[in-house]
Amino acid sequence: MAGSVQKRAGFKGAFLEGWEIFKESLLGRIGLTLILIFALMAVASFIPPMIDPMYHPMHGVDPEISFSTGPSLRHWLGTDFMGRDILSQLLAGARVAFMVGVSAAFMSIFLGTSIGMIAGYMGKAVDTMLMRLADMIMVMPTLLVVLILSSLFGQLNIWTIVLIIALFRWPGVSRVIRSQTLSLKTRPFIEAARVAGASHFRIIFRHIMPNVLPLSFLYMTFRVTSAIIIEAALAFLGFGDPGTVSWGMMLQWVWKTGHMFKAPYWLLPPGICISLITLSFYMLGRAMDEVLDPRLRKEADAS
């Protein structure tokens, strides 16, 4: 009982110390602020359709407009080629970006962390088999594979795209976690747990996993960025989910209807949002890297 209380106190102390270091990072503060803004946009995406059905991002059409118009009091960012509200689509795109980015990143990190820990701890044939599988998947270009699947099976559902991204983005994480596990499994506390009769399952998920999770969360921020970019690229190329309004889909509509150089009020918002949300998660990841790696903090202090 006393040991568990001390362990919780240790985790709390480490978290508070990490938070203090994170708050000192300008990149971290900017990244977190941008992410919170996009999160508010995602939450607010449910509001416009409640105000008026014409603000529905996919099906809502202004009865008085049947073509693309610029910003107005009725439509703050203007309308698309059908008279649909661009601001409503932009807010819905934030919801889709979070859904795709976080879901694909979480699944890929879960797979990569689990496989990396098992490979590093078990070693020998298990390690060789899992790492060769990771190598084969790692050399496959994710976007090209998804494009081939889309051309074979038609436009993919948004959750199918999320699953494919996750299945092709775990190998890099697994190799990093494997290296960390190889170092951890020779530590005295792992040997003590093994002598005490702890099972392999308990050692991996009770003793090794808490020590590699911070590294997993760090890589998750970068995986969110790549997932959002891949989904946007697929939607822009016409292989996204036609029933989902995303920023990439908005860019595709701009391009296909010939408004690329005619309607900057339609082109710029989704492009800027894609750039800013990927930049925000990158900044968050860089700040977390400083929290986890004391050497980076020393270099920052020296500069």
Convert the pLDDT of each residue in 138-196 to its tens digit.
Answer: 888 877 887 788 777 777 888 988 998 899 989 999 999 999 999 988 888 888 888 88
Distance CA 146, CA 165 (A): 8
pLDDT value of residue 36: 96
Domains, the chain, in order of start with CATH, read: 98-293 (1.10.3720.10)
| 136-147 pLDDT, tens digit each | 998 888 778 877
| 30-68 pLDDT, tens digit each | 999 999 999 999 999 999 999 999 999 999 999 999 899
**pLDDT bucket at 13, cuts 50 / 70 / 90:** low
The reported pTM is: 0.86
| 224-233 pLDDT, tens digit each | 998 999 899 9
Alpha helices per DSSP H over the chain: 2-23, 26-44, 47-51, 86-122, 124-138, 142-153, 158-168, 171-184, 188-195, 200-202, 209-236, 247-256, 264-292, 294-302
Largest CA distance in the chain: 77
pLDDT value of residue 3: 43
Residues 6 or more apart in contact with residue 221 via CB below 8 angstroms: 105, 281, 282, 284, 285, 288
Q: How many residues does the chain have?
A: 303
Question: Which of 76, 56, 74 minimizes the C-alpha distance to 65?
Answer: 74
Name the 3-class secondary structure at 79. strand
**Number of Cβ atoms within 10 Å of the Cβ of 192:** 11
- Considering 63-67, 136-140, 212-216, 275-279, the range whose residues carry the highest mean pLDDT is 275-279
